[in-house]
């Protein structure tokens, strides 16, 4: 279609484009940027993809009559796009020497690298799709499209040098054949590969199919997204795009010219020239709209909005809402939600890489507006969660708490509430509760503990227990081993597991699909129950301490509050009770006694020993658990003025995590201030003063990045900031 519709669309061509978009929506394919992942659960209730794929010829209400060949082609394309996503995921971890195509014999080898197996399968699927298109379509499949798709597979697998070789070889072929349009497409592909580590300047180098739970993005994927490309590579990419533009102009392909303009807008944004980015994006939108390409026109509109966000200029939110509304009418709902995802990913990069807190909030607000207009509550809740993350980072607790409650209200409205939705609720409310705990805010702790309890109750009511799932698996196993014809056994087992098509029954996959969401949400339930118990214990302590500082409160009321705090310790078994009892002693003024009690708690905890045979993921979790425990020990003994025990914990922290261990937390200046406290306790006044000054400088660097006075005030309102 990119070649067919290179010029302005006539009515027949526009009808074909609309038809293909409706197919894509109806089958909710993973086409960029409409990738169906956790964010786009909003699409699932609207279409029955399995019924469409199983039908020889069906009738989808929006798409009209669908032939078996059309479904086969679309399904093959869908599989290819899934291969691309898998290659990108595995390519982040693969060794470059393992990225290769394998023979049939090598594929059967037990030593074949997984990335090579995936690449070979994807390459074969691409060849099959090309053959199907060539043999059945009125217009044969373009060899340029095939060549560039092969290059894209190598690039996603982690071998950009091979991708560039394939792109340039195809360009040479096109130029020998005097195919200016094919040559222009090759220049576009080369510019994409030079400008961004992943994807292209069309998506600002952001990879959309990334985990989107709060603070749960793939670190490997985000490292690639956030990598900065050097000026030399950006200049080379810009030169490639100019070459493409000249060829598109000669072949009278305005959509190609618009695609170049949008990529040049992306290059300008990546280089930090947001004024140029806005001008080029507006130019691209005008050309796309004149050609009838609404989808790419909306992508250009998002680029212009992001350029304004970067400069903290106002954005016309009504034009962003129009994109969501377009998706619900005769547009492409998946594409519209993908543009919302692009806004969210841009906001996350502002937050994590550039410390652009206000830009991050604005991106989240625009993504929310688009998602609400598209009638997508799950995507809207995720966008609000992104705003929570940014407000939390600048310590604007009031705004963060409002975000958390708004997102929870949206997620609570989604019915039926499955394990994934409930897991998001638990994760977000726990993050808000943790923020309240860090601020000793007893009232907010109780609010979010209550919301956690509500979500835990819904999990119990709607998510099957692990025991129930094991019983379901046992029933399926009995059916597979029953004395019946094989086809009947498989059909019955599939029915027991809730699988509609027996052909889809693959035991290990079925077990994973059945158990994984429940196992994940049960881990979050345990975390939520722990938070609820901590609230039951610590909120009374914080209230009693606040009353102790209030001169208007009488002695009897203070003692009553302290007795309530002591009684609340009963919810904990040993040795956990020792930790909270020690904190209570310290709050009442006996810091030495509290330190001794807390020391008994840490001594009673089992030691954490890493197993060298643990897989990397398990080893990483064990490392994090050990680090968190040592950080807790260091913080507590500093607060309780026990210098020797604090120094012991610090020595272990440095040995475990290096001299820059303090950078890992959300408030590095607060952690460094604790180091100054320890130096002061050890009577190193000069060292303490230098450490406090270092902490203050880091704090001011963060604060200086904020332009909004309200955000600056909220940032400076945290306890650690005021103390510094």
Distance CA 436, CA 648 (A): 29
Dihedral (Cα; 637, 638, 641, 644), 10-degree rounding = 70
Choosing from 571, 595, 622, the residue where a domain stops is: 571
Residue 29 falls inside a structural domain: yes
- Of 147, 146, 243, 145, give the one whose Cα is nearest residue 194: 243
Choosing from 112, 132, 158, the residue where a domain stops is: 158
Residue 116 falls inside a structural domain: yes
Please tell me the predicted confidence (pLDDT) of residue 580.
Answer: 94
Average pLDDT value for residue range 646-668: 88
Distance CA 639, CA 626 (A): 20
- Of 151, 149, 91, 78, give the one whose Cα is nearest residue 117: 91
Please tell me the predicted confidence (pLDDT) of residue 368.
Answer: 97
> Residue 489 phi/psi, 5° resolution?
-60, -45
- Of 333, 407, 412, give the one whose Cα is nearest residue 374: 333
Q: At what angle do helices 231-250 and 180-195 cross, to 10 degrees?
A: 160
State yes or no: pLDDT of 47 exceeds 60: no
Give 304-320 as a DSSP string. Answer: HHHHHHHTT----HHHH
State yes or no: pLDDT of 2 exceeds 60: no
Structure token pair of residue 181? 């349009």
Domain that holds residue 494: 416-571
Please tell me the predicted confidence (pLDDT) of residue 41.
Answer: 54
Please tell me the predicted confidence (pLDDT) of residue 516.
Answer: 63
Q: At what angle do helices 466-480 and 507-549 cross, to 10 degrees?
A: 180
Max avg pLDDT among 103-107, 140-144, 223-227, 671-675: 671-675
Max avg pLDDT among 17-31, 501-515, 633-647: 633-647
Residue 467 falls inside a structural domain: yes
Please tell me the predicted confidence (pLDDT) of residue 461.
Answer: 82
Please tell me the predicted confidence (pLDDT) of residue 590.
Answer: 95
Question: Domain total for the chain?
Answer: 2
State yes or no: pLDDT of 711 exceeds 50: yes
- Cα separations (Å) of 100 from 88, 95, 103, 130, 154? 14, 11, 10, 21, 8
Please tell me the predicted confidence (pLDDT) of residue 610.
Answer: 63
pTM of the predicted structure, to 2 decimals: 0.80
Structure token pair of residue 1? 């279609």
pLDDT over 90, % of the chain: 49
Please tell me the predicted confidence (pLDDT) of residue 504.
Answer: 46
Distance CA 115, CA 154 (A): 10
State yes or no: pLDDT of 689 exceeds 90: yes
Average pLDDT value for residue range 31-52: 43
Please tell me the predicted confidence (pLDDT) of residue 445.
Answer: 96
> CB under 8 Å to 515, separation ≥6 — which residues?
466, 469
Structure token pair of residue 217? 């993005």
Residue 44 falls inside a structural domain: yes
pLDDT digits (tens, 9 = 90+) for 477-520: 777 677 777 666 667 766 666 655 444 445 445 555 555 667 77
Choosing from 158, 187, 210, the residue where a domain stops is: 158
Average pLDDT value for residue range 395-413: 94
Q: Are 282 and 304 in contact (CB under 8 A)?
A: yes
Residue 425 falls inside a structural domain: yes
Residue 398 falls inside a structural domain: no
pLDDT digits (tens, 9 = 90+) for 237-253: 999 999 999 999 999 99
The sign of the dihedral angle between the CA atoms of 92, 93, 96, 99 is: negative
Q: Are 432 and 388 in contact (CB under 8 A)?
A: yes
Average pLDDT over all residues of the chain: 83
Please tell me the predicted confidence (pLDDT) of residue 193.
Answer: 94
Please tell me the predicted confidence (pLDDT) of residue 360.
Answer: 95
Residue 130 falls inside a structural domain: yes
Give 467-524 as a DSSP string. Answer: HHHHHHHHHHHHHHTSSS-HHHHHHHHHHHTT-S-GGG--HHHHHHHHHHHHHHHHHH
Distance CA 499, CA 333 (A): 27
Residue 140 falls inside a structural domain: yes
Name the more confident of 3 and 666.
666
Q: Are 210 and 32 in contact (CB under 8 A)?
A: no
Question: What's the chain's Rg over C-alpha atoms?
Answer: 29
Please tell me the predicted confidence (pLDDT) of residue 674.
Answer: 94
Average pLDDT value for residue range 121-139: 75
Max avg pLDDT among 37-46, 72-81, 358-367: 358-367
């Amino acid at each position: 279609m990119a070649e067919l519709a290179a010029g302005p669309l006539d009515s027949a061509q526009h009808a074909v484009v609309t038809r293909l978009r409706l197919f894509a929506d109806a089958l909710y394919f993973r086409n960029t940027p409409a990738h169906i992942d956790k964010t786009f659960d909003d699409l699932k209730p609207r279409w029955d993809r399995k019924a469409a794929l199983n039908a020889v010829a069906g009738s989808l209400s929006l798409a009209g009559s669908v032939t078996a060949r059309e479904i086969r082609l679309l399904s093959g394309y869908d599989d290819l796009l899934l291969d691309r996503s898998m290659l990108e995921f595995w390519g982040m971890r693969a060794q470059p020497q393992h990225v290769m195509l394998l023979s049939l014999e090598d594929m059967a080898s037990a030593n074949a690298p997984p990335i090579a197996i995936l690449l070979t399968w994807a390459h074969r699927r691409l060849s099959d799709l090309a053959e199907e298109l060539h043999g059945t379509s009125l217009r044969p499949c373009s060899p340029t499209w095939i060549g560039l798709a092969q290059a894209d597979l190598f690039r996603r697998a982690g071998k950009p040098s091979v991708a560039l070789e394939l792109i340039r070889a195809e360009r040479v072929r096109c130029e020998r054949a005097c195919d200016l349009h094919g040559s222009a497409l090759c220049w576009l592909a080369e510019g994409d590969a030079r400008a961004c580590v992943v994807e292209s300047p069309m998506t600002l180098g952001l990879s959309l199919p990334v985990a989107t739970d709060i603070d749960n993005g793939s670190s490997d994927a985000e490292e690639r997204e956030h990598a900065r490309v050097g000026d030399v590579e950006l200049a080379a990419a810009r030169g490639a795009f100019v070459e493409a533009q000249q060829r598109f102009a000669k072949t009278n392909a305005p959509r190609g010219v618009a695609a170049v303009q949008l990529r040049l807008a992306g290059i300008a944004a990546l280089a930090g020239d947001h004024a140029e980015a806005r001008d080029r994006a507006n130019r691209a939108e005008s050309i796309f709209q004149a050609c009838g390409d609404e989808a790419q026109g909306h992508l250009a509109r998002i680029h212009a909005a992001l350029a304004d966000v970067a400069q903290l200029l106002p954005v016309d939110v009504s034009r962003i809402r129009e994109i969501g509304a377009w998706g619900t009418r005769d547009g492409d709902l998946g594409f519209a939600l993908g543009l919302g995802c692009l806004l969210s990913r841009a906001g996350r990069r502002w937050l994590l890489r550039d410390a652009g807190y206000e830009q991050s909030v604005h991106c989240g607000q625009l993504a929310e507006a688009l998602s609400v207009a598209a009638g997508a509550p799950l995507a809207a809740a995720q966008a609000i969660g992104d705003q929570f993350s940014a407000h939390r980072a600048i310590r604007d607790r009031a705004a963060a708490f409002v975000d958390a409650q708004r997102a929870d209200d949206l997620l609570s409205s989604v019915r039926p509430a499955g394990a994934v939705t409930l897991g998001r609720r638990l994760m977000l409310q726990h993050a808000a509760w943790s923020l309240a705990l860090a601020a000793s805010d007893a009232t907010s702790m109780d609010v979010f503990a209550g919301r956690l309890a509500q979500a835990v109750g819904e999990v119990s009511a709607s998510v099957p227990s692990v025991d129930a799932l094991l019983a379901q698996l046992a029933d399926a196993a009995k059916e597979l081993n029953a004395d019946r014809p094989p086809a009947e056994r498989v059909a019955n087992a599939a029915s027991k597991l809730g699988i509609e098509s027996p052909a889809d029954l693959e035991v290990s996959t079925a077990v994973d699909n059945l158990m994984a969401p429940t196992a994940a949400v049960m881990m979050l339930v345990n975390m939520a129950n722990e938070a609820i118990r901590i609230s039951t214990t610590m909120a009374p302590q914080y209230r009693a301490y606040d009353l102790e500082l209030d001169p208007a409160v009488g002695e009897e009321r203070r003692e009553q509050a302290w007795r309530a705090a002591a009684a609340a310790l009963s919810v904990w078994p040993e040795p956990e009770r020792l930790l909270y009892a020690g904190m209570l002693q310290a709050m009442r003024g006996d810091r030495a006694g509290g330190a001794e009690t807390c020391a008994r708690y840490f001594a009673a905890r089992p030691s954490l020993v890493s197993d060298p045979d643990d897989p990397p993921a398990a080893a990483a979790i064990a490392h994090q658990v050990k680090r968190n425990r040592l950080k807790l020990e260091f913080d507590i003994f500093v607060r309780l003025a026990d210098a020797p025990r604090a120094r012991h914990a610090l020595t272990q922290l440095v040995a475990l995590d290096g001299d820059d261990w303090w950078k890992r937390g959300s408030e590095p200046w607060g952690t460094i201030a604790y180091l100054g406290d320890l130096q002061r306790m050890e009577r190193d006044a000069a060292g303490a003063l230098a450490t406090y000054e270092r902490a203050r400088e880091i704090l001011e660097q963060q604060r200086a990045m904020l332009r909004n006075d309200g955000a600056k005030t909220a940032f400076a309102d945290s306890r650690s900031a005021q103390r510094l």
